[in-house]
Amino acid sequence: MDLVNLSAEPVGKLHSWIPRELEAEVIVFLPDACPGKSPLPTGTAVLTRQKDWRKFAVSDCGCGMRLLRSTVLPSELDLARWDRIADILRSNKGGLGDLGGGNHFLDALEPYDDGPLHFLIHTGSRNESGHVDDLVDDPARFDAEFDRVVGWAADNRATIHDAISSVFGKVDLVLDLPHNTYQLLDDGAAIIRKGSVHVAPGDLSILPSHMSGDVVLVRATNRVAKILNSISHGTGRTMSRGDCKPLADSFDFTGLRKRIMIPTGVNDCSLRTDGPFAYRDLDECMALIDDYVEPVTRFGVIGYMGHL
């Protein structure tokens, strides 16, 4: 097995995260690599010829990010309209347009180059993803259901896009990229991407850090082909949700709310496991993959919405 380590973690720790039943030819660990509830660690891309590989491709299938460009200035973001979007998304709970919980979010972004207000949506397939779990031993049905769920997740982000348009007027799609997917190759192998985006040289992708940290639009270089045409979907957690409590107890959430706009009704207690202290810095992440991507546009977060 060829292990490519682009994370800041020691190789020994990475080996401990690999499922024992996995038979892989190549595993790429990206800067956002961390263990989770899914079979594969987040922030990985895996090349395998294992017949039963589908059991490693489950969990939040089709989750991804959608970047939008508006026609208004960042200074036109106000709490009244931010609250209106939050209310629409709350009313969508359980259906299309449900932002969900955990680290899923909607950000309002201000470009450093004085461009218009942008929005970044990060959400997935909600409960739809669980429908593939019982089909791992039936490839044809698994693949069909997986494709449906990935489509549902894209529709979910598109419905949130529509909610933003209804409040801020026309907003244009810049990109929409899932990061929990698989790819069947012509020679019978499969690439499983868990928390990693499929990109070819020249493709754009988006890389956020945390709720008050910078976000960067990047373009893949030719070298991305050497890492299974995969790149990070974020900077990654530096600690588990359980380990966040001591830092959350002393974190200045009042100061956070002065720096970024958070909708009415989102309490500090709901942000405790996803605060800025839980995630890696953007520049630290970029330094690990600087041969594989080049920055295009950098943004500051001026509005955050999550845990609705």
Please give the single-letter amino acid code of residue 142. Answer: F
Confidence category of residue 129, pLDDT binned at 50, 70, 90:
confident
Q: What is the mean pLDDT of residues 171-190?
A: 97
What does the pLDDT read at residue 239? 81
Nearest to 230 by CA among 33, 22, 10: 33
Q: What is the mean pLDDT of residues 206-235?
A: 96
Nearest to 250 by CA among 267, 236, 268: 268
Average pLDDT, the chain: 95
| Six-digit token string for 272 | 């405790």
Q: What is the mean pLDDT of residues 232-259?
A: 88
| Strand-pair category, 2-5 with 24-34 | parallel
pTM above 0.75, yes or no: yes
| Terminal Cα-to-Cα distance of the chain (whole angstroms) | 42
What does the pLDDT read at residue 275? 85
Contacts of 7 (CB under 8 A, 6+ apart): 14, 29, 30, 31, 32, 33, 43, 236, 288
Q: What percent of the chain has pLDDT over 90?
A: 84
Q: Is the pLDDT of residue 127 over 90?
A: no
Nearest to 271 by CA among 31, 102, 55, 131: 102
CATH topology of domain 2-305: tRNA-splicing ligase RtcB (3.90.1860)
Q: What is the mean pLDDT of residues 28-45?
A: 94
Q: Is the pLDDT of residue 115 over 90?
A: yes
Please give the single-letter amino acid code of residue 40. Answer: L
Nearest to 7 by CA among 59, 44, 46, 56: 44
| Six-digit token string for 297 | 């546009």
What does the pLDDT read at residue 61? 95
Q: Is the pLDDT of residue 229 over 90?
A: yes
